[in-house]
Chain A
Amino acid sequence: MEELTFAAALTDLASMAPEIWQACRETALMLAVGLVAAIALGGPLGIVLYLSQPGQLFANRWVNGLLGWTVNLVRSFPFIILMVSLVPLTRLIVGSTIGPVAAAVPLSFAAIPYFARLVEQTLREIPRGVVEAAEAMGASPMQIIVKVLLNEARSGLISSLTILTISFLSYSAVAGVVGGGGIGDLAIRYGYYRFQTDVMVAMVLLLVLIVQIIQFAGNRLASRLDKR
């Protein structure tokens, strides 16, 4: 292995710019699909989990128990095993099992119950009395969900989404290794398998930077929305 100088590393990275850019786009795609699935399906699931709890608007032991059990089941799979188990489903939906779109399937699958639990937790912090006041004023269940629950929990929901995004940035690196591509994949392919330490370090620094930005933006937005 030739000696690594800063200048050499820079030219090396510069020559790889298109590949790095490609990896960023793949990571962004995996995350975007996973987050959209989490919000669109995990969000409502979390609301149902919350509302079906004893003492809540639609208290139902069976619904709550069944949903809670299913969520726990999916969440107990180590991600890499979940990914492998979902190969048939992925092939069915995407038609292929490699590439960022294919990797987005198991990512979404893991993101949905994860976000559902985060939503449930966040909603629990709303005082019961506030919901009851809305009930007493004649609000419909839909009005209570949208105008009271989601609005009162909005800052917590943004924090939850921040946590989810950051966790899934690292999940997406795992998904990348088995054919999804992305920043994590690039770091491992060049840095780990081909001993190009400069590429690995650069990719890790890039991930560090992305995480910091996401957390900073999440905190800022959450505190701006919080009027408590």
Chain B
Amino acid sequence: MIHLQNIRKRFRRPDGGWFDAVCDTSLSIGAGEVFGLIGFSGAGKSTLLRLINLLERPDGGAVIVAGQDLTALDAKALRRARQQLGMVFQQFNLMANRTVAGNIAFPLEIAGWSAADIASRVAECLEIVGLADRAEHYPAQLSGGQKQRVGIARALAPRPKVILADEPTSALDPKTTQSILDCLKDINQRFGVTVVIVTHEMHVVRSICHRAAVLDAGSVVEVVEVNGAEVDARSALARSLLEAA
């Protein structure tokens, strides 16, 4: 579903030099997979995730999603492609002046759906994330966990093939974290949506990922398999992340 081929990304440092945030990385993520990106702070997890929907443009390499090289698309085609890639954020990033329903409707309005289709799809998504009774609330009236459910419903609304989630539970308490992870897992299983999830917690990987890439200093150190709750790790870094959890 997602193939990153020899991706490179560097940023200008304040002193004028360059900083390699992602160096020559290749990664393949299968359709229907829940794939983790794990590593310590500054490892390049967010950058790698943002390269998948081209929020960051790679300095080299190809980003192939559902058979399409996104780096080769013009602005308009890229916008259409992005409608197939939902995104969930650590800070939720909901629109404060739109209701819950309005937030979920947003990507559908963007994609040009009819009002009737939007209304029924919004109701469906609210049902999926268990917020049917909150449709007319504003984000300010919700708890963190509820806000993230809205974020997930919004990402899910246009029936994307992929959902990209950047530390979706890092602003939440442990109990809420588990319910959000269950929600993502449920979506993955019911609708076959591929999920790529960034985290610095091994327990997130254990609880929902099929596989995970361990990142360090902009490179993939190892791709680990998760069997049940067992993580089959070889690298020292993966082991230290396991112990930290």
- On A, residues with C-beta under 8 Å from B are 127, 129-130, 132-140, 143, 147-148, 151-152, 154-155, 225-228
Contacts and interface: CB of A to CB of B under 8 A. Distances in A.
Interface in B83-111: 83, 85-87, 89, 91, 93-98, 106-107, 109-111
Contacts of B89: 129, 133
A130 B94 contact: yes
A133 B150 CA distance: 13
A88 to B, nearest CB: 44
Contacts of A138: 78-83, 107, 110-111
B83 A227 contact: no
Contacts of A135: 55, 82
A138 B154 CA distance: 13
Interface residues of B, number: 30
B225 to A, nearest CB: 29
A128 B113 CA distance: 26
Nearest to B98: A151
A143 B110 CA distance: 7
B140 interface: yes
Contact of B85 (A136, A139, A140, A151): A136
Contacts of A137: 82-83, 86-87, 106-107, 110, 154, 158
Contacts of A134: 106, 110
Contacts of A154: 97
Nearest to A150: B97
Contacts of B96: 130, 152, 227-228
Nearest to A227: B138
Contacts of B110: 134, 137-140, 143, 147
Nearest to A154: B97
Nearest to B111: A138
B93 A133 contact: yes
A152 B97 contact: yes
B79 A140 contact: yes
Nearest to A140: B79
B91 A225 contact: no
B53 interface: yes
Given A137-B106, A137-B110, 16 more contacts: A129-B91, A130-B93, A130-B96, A135-B82, A138-B81, A138-B83, A139-B110, A143-B110, A148-B95, A151-B95, A152-B96, A154-B97, A227-B97, A227-B98, A227-B139, A228-B140
